[in-house]
Structure 1
Amino acid sequence: MKRKNFITLAWVSLGTSMFFFFVFTDEKNIENFLYTIIISFMYSFVLGGGNGLINDFLNKKFPWSEATTKRGIISIVVILIANIIMVYFCNYMNFVVFQKGATTAEYFKGKYNFINWFTINIALLISAFLHAKGFMDELKKTSRKEVVEQKLIAKSANAQFESLKNQLDPHFLFNSLNVLSSLIDENPVQAQKFTASMSKIYRYVLEQKDKELVTVEDEIEFAKIYCDLLKTRFEDSVNFQFDVDKENLRKFVVPLSLQLLLENCIKHNLATSSKPLSIRIFTEGDVLCIENNLQIREQIKESAGIGLANIVQRYSLLTDRNVYIEKSEDYFKVKLPILIDKPNVISVNSDDEDKAYLRARKRVKEMKGFYGNLASYCIIIPFLIFINLYTQNKYHWFWWPLLGWGIGVASHAFQVFGIGESWQEKKIQEIMNKQKNRHHGKI
């Protein structure tokens, strides 16, 4: 426990002793005053301090945020056992040692059973308050931590995504200038046409490079223009074939992905009139494929692998679906996932924070309801027992509300700590996640 908690207990003990001394003590002298202070401090520090230390120990060993269900069950068992022991100890010291109102045998035979039972309920009320306060403090701290972590993840993902997109502009320009440089010597007229086509293509690059996704239709149209540009240089050495289903045209892919893959085809394969390079762009279900026949060219300098790596990384930031690569002795194929909706996974907006806040608020409300129920039980049941025993000793009707309400409190505890509807929701979510992962595995 912290120092301020001990100071609080000292002030509570002093206030309680003053109240009992002036209200219930007949002989008001220094001896009785000191005796009242000692008794008050004993109860306050044993019950209040003991429950505080138990709560601190459980917070370290079983934090609410990491093991809510386990912590709830352990807390109920531990506080019941610990408070019974502490109450019996305090009452023994008070009635047997200090007041000498009974012998040890008389005490444990049941002379003070009612007082012990009443004090145990008061102790449980104190413990319930401390555990409720500890849970809400932990929940607030965890909620703030999660929001901060999500913001950091979002900023990191945004920075990484912007870095990847910024690779496209210089990468495309570098490759295009290399092509243009070759054409100037080989065919100046074609070089002029190439320059005009390159300006149109570069305009598209500038328009699309800042977008997360573009429609398949836009990307295919751009790829056709880019293929015409490559035809200008390679003529009959390269053949292109497009076979894309119309139903996929309004769906989405990563921008400039086809341009980067077409560059890879040209860069890594030989293309001559006698052995033309055939490139096919087509769809297979919800996948866009780029396939070429293998005519690997020998390269003096190892490739940096910017194009394909860029596409893979950008997809990983936008979806959990993977980019697949197939390679055999005859062909090389890349499969790009076609996305139905534009995902929003790299930004954490106010809606996400509002949902997290509402979930946390609902959880706090559930916990407050349970501890309010427990506190009411600990206060009202001892009062009913007192009324029953004071008015009618033969028929003990207090057992009915004690057991009935007690079962209700236990059921409430199981529901709040994960055995009721919250457990069902967790199980449903777990099954849905498994089915989702199995579905993506097949894709």
Structure 2
Amino acid sequence: MKRNNFITLFWVSLAVSMFFFFAFTSEKTIENFLYTILISMLYSFVLGGGNGMLNSFLNKRIPWAEATTKRAILSIASILILNFVLVYFCNYVNFVLIQKAVTTETFFSEKYNFINWFTINVALLISAFLHAKGFMEELKKTSRKEVVEQKLIAKSANAQFESLKNQLDPHFLFNSLNVLSSLIDENPQQAQKFTASMSKIYRYVLEQKDKELVTVEDEIEFAKTYCNLLKTRFEDSVDFVFDVAKEDYQKYVVPLSLQLLLENCIKHNFATSSKPLVIRIFSDGGTLCIENNLQVREQIKESSGIGLSNIVQRYALLTKRNVFIEKSEDYFKVKLPMLSAKPNIVSVKPDDEIKAYKRAQKRVKEIKGFYTNLISYCIIIPFLIFINLFTGSRSHWFWFPALGWGIGLASHAFQVFGIGESWQEKKIREIMNQQKNRNNGNI
């Protein structure tokens, strides 16, 4: 327990002792006042401290959020056993050792069994309150933590993805202007055509850059248009070969991936009429491949690698499949995974999410209902016992509501935490998961 809890117990015991001293003590002496404080602190620190330490211990070993059913069963069993032991210990120290009102034999007689039973119910009330309070605090803490984590993950992923996509605009524009500036000097007429074509291509860039995935067919058509522009500048120095299977056209790749890789081919390799640069775009085993013969150009400054790293990072955000890079003395190849379907960015459908929320809400209400029932039992039954014993009634009628309500409370506990609808749902899910795993193994 924390230091603040001990301070709270001290003030509670002091307040209780003052109440009993001024309300029920006939001889108001300093000695009796000290006795009252001692007895009050005995019960406060032993019962309150013991239940508090038990709750803290269970919170560390078996948190509510990780194993609700197991924790509830252990909490009920442990508080019953612990309070039974602590109450008998406190009462024995109080009546036998401190007040010396009775002997040990008398303390364990039938008369004091009723007093012990009454005190046990009061202790159970305190313990039930502490455990219910701990459950609600843990539930709120877990809910806040999950919400914050999901918001941070979503914000981080969105920011990272937007950052990657925003790199495309300046990268594409910079390379296109370099090509245009070269054409203006070499062939002004072609430069005009290039400018018109570049505007069409840039329109495609603006349309597709906000998309997470595009079809292979759209990307190939765009790549062909872009290759025609490159062909305008390099003429016979560069050859492009497209050999993508028609059945792969409806698969998906990240947008502008071919354009970035084509730029890299031109940027890092020299091309002449005698030694043309041959760039092949083809499909191979579920991947879209871009391959060129290696004719490495001497670099004045080291490349930033923004194009290829951009593609790799965008794929990492969308799928577990990797981008493969192969390099030999003769060729350089990049393999892009072709996805058969767009991945679900949201793992749970809205309808399923609503149903899951309603189930969780219903579960929380069931648990809260049980603890409300338990706290009510611990308040009302001791009150009935008090009335029955101190009114001098010969018949102990409090046993009937205590046993009847106790049986109902036990049934409620089994229904909420172990046996009942929740247990049936668990078994159904378990059987369905087994059948699902068996079917997956046969595929």
* TM-score over 0.5 for the pair: yes
8 Å CA contact 2:13, 2:37 repeated in 1 = no
Q: Which residue of 2 aligns with 1:441?
A: none
Distance in 2 (CA, whole Å) between partners of 1:36 and 1:140 is: 39
RMSD after superposition: 4.9
TM-fit CA distance, 1:238: 1.0
- Deviation string for 1:153-182 (max 9, x for gaps)? 333332222221221112112222222333
Pick from 6, 17, 20: which aligns with 2:9? 6
8 Å CA contact 2:381, 2:401 repeated in 1 = no
- Deviation string for 1:48-95 (max 9, x for gaps)? 343234324544565434665665465445433431221011221343
Cα distance, 1:369–1:430 mapped onto 2, change above 3 Å: farther
Q: Which residue of 2 aligns with 1:55?
A: 55
Q: Which residue of 2 aligns with 1:334?
A: 335
Instruction: Determine if the alignment matches structure 1 residue 289 to structure 2 residue 267.
Output: no
Residue identity in the other structure for 1:30 = K
Q: Which residue of 2 aligns with 1:87?
A: 87
After superposing the two structures, state which structure 1 stretch, 11-20 or 112-121, moved more: 11-20
8 Å CA contact 1:39, 1:94 repeated in 2 = yes
Give ranges in structure 1 of 5+ residues lacking alignment: 22-26, 439-443
8 Å CA contact 1:277, 1:292 repeated in 2 = no
Give 3-state SS (helix, strand or coil) of 1:112's partner: helix
Distance in 2 (CA, whole Å) between partners of 1:182 and 1:11 is: 91
Distance in 1 (CA, whole Å) between partners of 2:415 and 2:351 is: 34
After superposing the two structures, state which structure 1 stretch, 97-106 or 149-158, moved more: 97-106
Give ranges in structure 2 of 5+ residues lacking alignment: none
Distance in 2 (CA, whole Å) between partners of 1:316 and 1:390 is: 79
Q: Which residue of 2 aligns with 1:238?
A: 239
8 Å CA contact 1:245, 1:283 repeated in 2 = no
After superposing the two structures, state which structure 1 stretch, 114-123 or 402-411, moved more: 402-411
Q: Which residue of 1 aligns with 2:28?
A: 30
Distance in 2 (CA, whole Å) between partners of 1:304 and 1:352 is: 44
Cα distance, 1:9–1:364 mapped onto 2, change above 3 Å: farther
TM-fit CA distance, 1:341: 3.2
Give 3-state SS (helix, strand or coil) of 1:303's partner: coil
Residue identity in the other structure for 1:177 = L
Residue identity in the other structure for 1:189 = Q
Residue identity in the other structure for 1:292 = E
8 Å CA contact 2:280, 2:292 repeated in 1 = no
Cα distance, 1:94–1:133 mapped onto 2, change above 3 Å: same
Distance in 2 (CA, whole Å) between partners of 1:13 and 1:384 is: 22
Give 3-state SS (helix, strand or coil) of 2:294's partner: coil
Cα distance, 1:378–1:13 mapped onto 2, change above 3 Å: same
Instruction: Determine if the alignment matches structure 1 residue 155 to structure 2 residue 155.
Output: yes
Cα distance, 1:331–1:307 mapped onto 2, change above 3 Å: closer
Q: Which residue of 1 aligns with 2:413?
A: 409
Larger RCO (CA within 8 A; separation ≥ 6): 1
Give 3-state SS (helix, strand or coil) of 1:30's partner: coil
Q: Give TM-score scaled by structure 2 length.
A: 0.74
Distance in 2 (CA, whole Å) between partners of 1:425 and 1:172 is: 51
Distance in 2 (CA, whole Å) between partners of 1:208 and 1:419 is: 50
Q: Give TM-score scaled by structure 1 length.
A: 0.74
8 Å CA contact 2:17, 2:37 repeated in 1 = yes
Residue identity in the other structure for 2:82 = A
8 Å CA contact 1:312, 1:323 repeated in 2 = yes
After superposing the two structures, state which structure 1 stretch, 264-273 or 155-164, moved more: 264-273
After superposing the two structures, state which structure 1 stretch, 128-137 or 50-59, moved more: 50-59
- Deviation string for 1:195-253 (max 9, x for gaps)? 2212221222233323333344432322221121122223343123142535743x543
